Structure 1
Amino acid sequence: MVAAITTDTTDLALNACTAGENYSAQEGAFEGPEKLLEIWFSPAWNQVSEHQHVTTTQNLMMVPRPVWEDMLAIVKCTVLNMIQHDHVDAYLLSESSMFVYPHKMIIKTCGTTTLLLALPRILEIAKEICGFDKVWRVFYSRKAFMFPDRQVGPHKSWESEVAFLDQYFDDGSAYKIGNMTGDHWHLYTTKPADDVLHHQNNMHDVSSPPQDHAMRSSSSSPSNSSSDDDNGDETEPMDQTVEIMMTKLNPKHMERYFYHQQGTPSGVEGGQQVDRITGIDQLYPGADVDSFLFEPCGYSSNGLWQDRYFTIHVTPEPQCSYASFETNIPISATTKGGASIDPLVQQVLRIFDPAAFSVTYFSSASTSNPRKMMRAMTHTPGYQRTDRILYEFDGYDLVYGHYVKTSPPLPLK
């Protein structure tokens, strides 16, 4: 049983949003960069019953939608729509997305949402409905906030987020990656283990100072491969995720993400129109896509391709413009560039034309080649790379890259 942890009840007060409303817009905090929480309860969907000692029908996808909606009220967001495939449910939220697999879940929320405050409820749901007693692995990440002073609860600082996560998980490590005086990215991760969850008999005293961490601030100078010799496995990684976080977007391109009463509809119809005119629908032509255009502006979409997803979120206002793209669809399965992420990155950049962007590229270590991953970020036309950093974790390799624009803005097509 997971030990109960006392949290300030004012932080847990449910929002007054109705379905489809945007809480952060109401609060005036247009914070595009998302908080991302990924919890693996088992190593794979077909290992749930063996790992958790439950029946083959018990998994996260059996949780009723109203139960998830109740949990999301703690986060301060609502469900707009949902699409389903055999091994994944994709929830489009008022502030980003949630993906539920039989064995894991990914929640990504922007603005002043209180994502981590929902963690106790997520663990309760997994225990009460699915019979899950254990957590196999956890990832939590976010880009540096644009407006950190507007965040609430544990999200007021990276240190408080890490301390909060430490109350629930064993052996977590926290990292700050990139230029600490400029654009950078935060990551918290646990090692893969039979169970990383704190239980009653080994619960840390939450009133004591947070435990020491591998809190790492990486060098801002680019890392370079010393050799082109691969000698690695050529097979496709079993699990990989690419995330592109873009700032200072081309204002002309952003006009398409505004609702106009005379011409551009809002909601699902408006989202589908945005897909067509921007080329988003050409990223994965075979995917099932669920898109939404907000009033007065803003755009979100989820896409499912087999049991993999992609998701896009856009904050178009010029004073805080931001767009994110994320996918766990295997790169070689959908591009002509083999295992290189460069064609995908360039296709996304043509849609948004950012003045700066960061890329994170996770790949399962058992089948990835770190040198090949490093070379995947060697050159992006029209941009100068300011960072390229490799991390090797237990089970995964990560390459982080940051780029600034050196060419004129792209014309609108």
Structure 2
Amino acid sequence: MAESGFEGFEKRLELHFFGDDPVIHDMGLRLLDFDSLQEVLDAVQCTVVSAVGNQYFDAYVLSESSLFVYPTKIIIKTCGTTQLLKSVRPLINYAHDLGLTICSCRYTRGNFIFPKSQPFPHTSFKEEVIYLEDKLPITLCYRKATVMPSKMTSHAWHVFTACDQTQVVTPLPNMPDIAFTMEICMTDLDRVLARKFFRRPNDGKNGDTAGKEMTDLTGIGDINPGAIICDFAFDPCGYSMNGIDGDRYSTIHVTPEDGYSYASYECVGSVYDDQDDVVQMLKKVVQVFRPATMSVSTTCASHEVWTRVAHAIEPLGLKCRSCIMDEFPSAGTVVFQTFTVARRKYSAVDTRGGVELELGA
């Protein structure tokens, strides 16, 4: 818990592995027992509160955000004052014991609301990068770290990627170049809607029951009706959800307190999906929270998805303020867009060429 309030902005770590044993490749990291996973989470300073899985992957709701375990990929995102990067070395070691070798790493986060409350190694992005550089094997020799700015000082996107030589020339084996990851960060939520994420005192419910009620009450269940939802409500307030839909996940985390309210939505998809589905998803997310400020980071080798973001959001009263893109080894193109309710001009920046173009009023 930060001194001034709870830190909603998550840190997100994604690690990819490969192995030669086909049996291991089929189950891979999913063979890790719960005690091993909890040992990793102990280093991060969080724990599992709920879980669900299918034939493709396992999804865990954590006391601070989420964990997703695929056979050769693991994603952890944690909020508060957790020490997420302390999971890197234990995960590499456990994967090695299973015959898996790391081939790619991606770390992303927004701007912390309470940066001075963050413990090492999250005291600054520079310290985070130094820590990652030290903990990752030298085989991940293609590395890049960038802070992607916006026209709002409260929103910037921090990206670190590292990969080996194979991932520079070929797509990740379980994340082809037609796949995308979308990370949405929302602040200054509508106060009436945010109150739905508070529990009544002495309601007699456990976190799972209260979480299901919040999912139904807020309309979160309608964002992706086909997903199996694992949800949890914290006491006295706060909410987390993981959705699983085939081999895809989505996740929501809410810190609803006035003054530092925050919500995040993350999902994965394919550029071959109906792009109208992406538009409808974005609209539903905005309507659930009605933030005054939001950012959308899209990671994809194709430009098919991010170009639809403003088209989906702006009719809801949020104006695009800035749009910046950059290329990262193995990850592809990262596009970072910011939106607020005020009316001003915005621009697009291509950091590869240092060109800034005004797109509209």
Report the TM-score, using the length of structure 1 for normalisation: 0.74
Q: CA deviation at 1:332?
A: 5.7
Counterpart in the other structure of 2:259: 319
Q: Quick one: structure 1 residues 330 and 277, their matched pair in 2 at CA, closer, same or farther if it must change by over 3 Å?
A: farther
- SS at the partner of 2:122? helix
Distance 2:204 2:296 in 1: 31
Contact 1:244 1:345 in 2 (8 A): no
Cα shift readout 1:202-249 (whole Å, capped 9, x = no counterpart):
xxxxxxxxxxxxxxxxxxxxxxxxxxxxxxxxxx96321111100000
Work out whether 1:141 is the aligned partner of 2:108: yes
Cα shift readout 1:72-101 (whole Å, capped 9, x = no counterpart):
011000111111111200011000000000
Q: Quick one: structure 1 residues 278 and 330, their matched pair in 2 at CA, closer, same or farther if it must change by over 3 Å?
A: farther
Q: CA deviation at 1:36?
A: 0.3
Counterpart in the other structure of 1:285: 225
Distance 1:56 1:34 in 2: 29
Work out whether 1:345 is the aligned partner of 2:268: no
Counterpart in the other structure of 2:339: 403
Equivalent residue runs for 1:8-407 within 5 Å = 24=1, 29-42=5-18, 48-49=19-20, 55-56=24-25, 59-128=28-97, 130-132=98-100, 134-169=101-136, 170-179=141-150, 181-191=153-163, 193-194=165-166, 238-261=178-201, 265-330=205-270, 333=273, 337=276, 341-363=278-300, 365=301, 368=302, 370=303, 372-379=304-311, 380-381=314-315, 382-395=317-330, 396-406=332-342
- SS at the partner of 1:136? strand
> Which amino acid in 1 is paired with 2:108?
S
Task: Say how many residue pairs are matched.
Answer: 327
Contact 1:135 1:194 in 2 (8 A): no
Contact 1:304 1:310 in 2 (8 A): yes
Contact 2:9 2:111 in 1 (8 A): yes
Contact 2:322 2:339 in 1 (8 A): yes
Contact 1:248 1:356 in 2 (8 A): yes
Q: Quick one: structure 1 residues 57 and 357, their matched pair in 2 at CA, closer, same or farther if it must change by over 3 Å?
A: closer
Gaps spanning 5+ residues in structure 2: where?
A: 169-175, 344-361
Distance 2:227 2:177 in 1: 20
Distance 1:293 1:331 in 2: 33
Percent identity at matched positions? 35
Counterpart in the other structure of 2:171: none
Contact 2:178 2:271 in 1 (8 A): no
Q: CA deviation at 1:114?
A: 0.5
Q: CA deviation at 1:319?
A: 1.5
Contact 1:77 1:113 in 2 (8 A): yes
Distance 1:111 1:190 in 2: 25
Q: Quick one: structure 1 residues 287 and 392, their matched pair in 2 at CA, closer, same or farther if it must change by over 3 Å?
A: same
Q: CA deviation at 1:275?
A: 0.7
Q: Quick one: structure 1 residues 119 and 249, their matched pair in 2 at CA, closer, same or farther if it must change by over 3 Å?
A: same
Contact 1:90 1:98 in 2 (8 A): yes
- SS at the partner of 2:309? coil
Contact 2:40 2:90 in 1 (8 A): yes
Q: CA deviation at 1:194?
A: 4.1
Gaps spanning 5+ residues in structure 1: where?
A: 1-23, 43-47, 197-235, 408-413
What CA RMSD, in Å, does the superposition of the two structures yield over aligned residues? 2.4
- SS at the partner of 2:86? helix
Distance 1:124 1:237 in 2: 28
> Which amino acid in 2 is paired with 1:345?
L
Contact 1:373 1:399 in 2 (8 A): no
Distance 1:389 1:358 in 2: 11
Q: CA deviation at 1:313?
A: 0.2
Q: Quick one: structure 1 residues 274 and 58, their matched pair in 2 at CA, closer, same or farther if it must change by over 3 Å?
A: closer
Cα shift readout 1:263-287 (whole Å, capped 9, x = no counterpart):
5844000110011111101111111
Q: CA deviation at 1:392?
A: 2.9
- SS at the partner of 2:41? helix
- SS at the partner of 1:350? helix
Distance 2:202 2:235 in 1: 13
Report the TM-score, using the length of structure 2 for normalisation: 0.84
Counterpart in the other structure of 1:200: none
Q: CA deviation at 1:330?
A: 3.6
